[in-house]
Amino acid sequence: MAVGQRALEAAGFARPGRLGRVRQWCEQEHVFGYGLILPALLLIVCLVAYPFGMAIYFSLSDYWVGSPGEFIGLENFRQIFRNEVFHRTVYNSFVFTSIAVVLKAVLGVWLAMLLFRTFRFKRLIRGAVLLPWVIPTALSTLAWWWMFDSLYSVVNWTGIRLGLIEAPGPNWLGMTSYAMAAVIAVNVWRGLPFFAIIVLAGLVSIPREYYEAAEVDGAGSWARFRHVTLPLLKPVLAVVILFSTIFTFADFNIVQVLTRGGPVNSTHLFATLAYQTGLVGGNLGQGAAISLFLFPMLAAVVFLQLRYIRRE
């Protein structure tokens, strides 16, 4: 830069005016680069880092809505650990996340394979598959809630008509295991398109030659899937599973709309319990402490998966 300046001056150009100097200063790489990052950084600081810091502060204090609390150390965490409802929530979260993610991964790959074939109205159907992912969750879950309604359940009505279940059918949202099944089903329904579309993109990028070579070697469709498709999909799958695990673990809408954590807390997840305790109940300190439990668990998931991806 400095050399350029001297060269310009030597060539008879006058030193630039004040505006020009500002511009020159801005155009330096270290200034301009940070300038470009600044807006994003501000957003992250204001909307992510600050709330996160506040959450940590709240979790260590006796903070109720409308009543700033004193620092009480780890007391909130101690209380949570003693609470049976929290134990149940931890258990629920793992059951919910593991079953939902496995189902989404298996069904997602399957759906992607189907969509990969050539058939009529391919584009239309590929677009339509995305619908559950596009509709606002709260809205679509309301429809599901109505389908599981104790009095007017469409699910039961259909099942009974088809002779699949005996009248009056299960009380979907009133029995612990059925309620969990219902919540998982809706989550899978909603998350499936995300899996399918990204896996589909992965499938498209696999060169045809591998399949041709495998066929020449006498591989059947299962062998081609196991030895060609799956290994080449692995990196894509790992990323999707990573994202999906985070989304599923932190789910809130589906449970809040369908069961509000009931029956008897058997479907509470971290987010719904934190909402109930902190915002509805007013105990912000404990609510923050509950929601912070998401952090170490998700951090562990991210760490393991990223390490796996890098090794690949």
**Pair 148, 236: CB distance under 8 Å:** no
281 binds another protein (CB under 8 A): yes
Q: Which tokens hold the place of 104?
A: 């989404």
Beta-bridge partners for 61? 71
From 24, 56, 69, 294, residue interacting with another protein (rule: CB under 8 A): 69
From 85, 107, 142, 155, residue interacting with another protein (rule: CB under 8 A): 85
From the number of C-beta atoms within 10 Å of its C-beta (0-12, 13-18, 19+), residue 218 rates as: exposed
Window of 44-52, 76-84, 221-229, 231-239 that interacts with another protein by CB under 8 A: 76-84
277 binds another protein (CB under 8 A): yes
176 binds another protein (CB under 8 A): yes
51 binds another protein (CB under 8 A): no
Window of 92-100, 114-122, 235-243, 258-266 that interacts with another protein by CB under 8 A: 258-266
90 binds another protein (CB under 8 A): no
Where residue 83 falls (left for φ over 0; alpha for ψ -120 to 50; beta otherwise) is beta
In this structure, the dihedral spanned by the alpha carbons of residues 272, 273, 278 and 282, taken in order and rounded to 10 degrees, is 110
Window of 13-21, 28-36, 47-55, 167-175 that interacts with another protein by CB under 8 A: 167-175
From 77, 159, 262, 301, residue interacting with another protein (rule: CB under 8 A): 262
How many whole angstroms separate alpha carbon 61 and alpha carbon 70? 5
CB of 184 to another protein, least distance (A): 16
The Cβ of residue 169 has, within 10 Å, a number of other Cβ atoms equal to 17
From 55, 60, 105, 173, residue interacting with another protein (rule: CB under 8 A): 173
Q: Name the CA radius of gyration of the chain, rounded.
A: 27
Between residue 125 and residue 154, which ones bind another protein under the rule CB under 8 A? Answer: 149-152
64 binds another protein (CB under 8 A): yes
CA neighbor of 264 nearest in space, from 78, 89, 77, 79 = 89
215 binds another protein (CB under 8 A): no
159 binds another protein (CB under 8 A): no
From 107, 142, 175, 301, residue interacting with another protein (rule: CB under 8 A): 175
CA neighbor of 130 nearest in space, from 145, 110, 111, 154 = 111
Amino acid identity of 129? V
How many whole angstroms separate alpha carbon 67 and alpha carbon 51? 18
Residues 6+ apart with CB under 8 A from 31: 25
From 12, 17, 66, 163, residue interacting with another protein (rule: CB under 8 A): 66
Q: Note the residues at the interface with another protein (CB under 8 A).
A: 62, 64-70, 72, 75, 79, 82-85, 149-152, 171-176, 179, 259-265, 276-277, 279-283
